[in-house]
Amino acid sequence: MDQTVRGDGSAPACFICGGQQFERLLSVRIPRDPDREHWIERCQSCDAVRSRPLLSDEELGALYTTQYYGPPKRRSVTLIEKLRVMAMRNRARMLTRIARAHLPASSGRPRVLDIGCGRGNLLVGLNQEGWDCWGLERPEFVDPSATAYKLLLSPQEVEALEDGSFDLVVMWHSLEHMSDPAATVALATRLLKPGGLLTIAVPNFDSTQRRWFGRHWFAMSVPVHRQHLSRRPLERLLTPHYDVLRFSTMALEQGTFIFAHSVVNALTDSHEPNPLYERLSLRQPGSAGMLSLVLQGVALLAALPVGFVESLVSGWLDRGTVLTLVAQKRRES
């Protein structure tokens, strides 16, 4: 399966280091796109992994006709959505504590930009913590009734933002969706004040779970995830302008969830999303029968405690499923 693909001008250079040599890791079957081969490949210079072919927003939109975030207002069944909102509020409080410890003193409300803010749960929490909140998202994914933050919906609106006008930039599970992650980080660098903070969360391609589950790893999400990052390429991306203050792969809640759905993916030989996830997310009901869904539910519940322990241990070993970091823009940058 492994093979080296030599840069011959037909493939774009590595988005992170400009490298031309790629190793193909695995191919993935996409039921929605049966006529085309999808694969992931690793840059031999910097370890960054990316999906190929790299689909445009329009191509992805055509494949995923239901909204990626589920129906408006209700992203998932109510209890799960409530837990998600609670987790985001906790995250907002934690980010505020980190910011107070590291941001240079300034008068007025600190300003935050969430790149890929989705339905804005994190921004609602940050707004309650006293932040002046801004969110960047594609128009089809946003909550248009949001009042806790200002929405930026077009590249023109982003270009109009002043250099050095933000204290904090958040990329919470958004960098893996970008076609050019270096350009997204460069945007954050332009918008951050000197000494400002950048926080990133991405699925960790170096994780134990990814090694165990391979193509069934729930967080792989080819082709929706265009990038598959790990510590080394991320640090390469940040080193020119940032000092990394915190780095962790301890993510108990997300790690447990991803583990359990990876088990269901493996049992049903599906790629994300599996039929049960589709049903729980109130996306398209799909064609799975009720008995099959019940069995998948039993497997999911049985896998949760195992996933919790796995997430705890691999988090300790820096092999956890989600990589989060906080970096500070150098004052001379």
The least CB distance from residue 333 to Zn ion, in Å, is: 22
Q: Which is nearer to Zn ion, 175 or 192 (CB)?
A: 175
179 binds Zn ion (CB under 5 A): no
Cα gap 150→157, rounded to integer Å:
11
Cα gap 137→177, rounded to integer Å:
12
14 binds Zn ion (CB under 5 A): yes
Cα gap 326→198, rounded to integer Å:
6
Contact criterion met (CB below 8 Å) for 184 and 113: no
The least CB distance from residue 210 to Zn ion, in Å, is: 18
The least CB distance from residue 48 to Zn ion, in Å, is: 5
Among 28, 40, 48, 325, binds Zn ion (CB under 5 A): 48
Return the SS3 of 272. coil
20 binds Zn ion (CB under 5 A): no
The least CB distance from residue 170 to Zn ion, in Å, is: 25
Among 28, 46, 115, 222, binds Zn ion (CB under 5 A): 46
Return the SS3 of 268. coil
Q: Which amino acid is at 333?
A: S
The least CB distance from residue 16 to Zn ion, in Å, is: 5
* Binding range to Zn ion, per CB under 5 A, among 2-10, 37-45, 132-140, 183-191: 37-45
Among 5, 11, 13, 19, binds Zn ion (CB under 5 A): 19
Cα gap 61→312, rounded to integer Å:
36
Q: What is the 3-state secondary structure (H, E, C) of 119-148?
A: CCHHHHHHHHCCCEEEEECCHHHCCCCCCC
> Residues interacting with Zn ion, by CB under 5 A?
14, 16-17, 19, 43, 45-46, 48
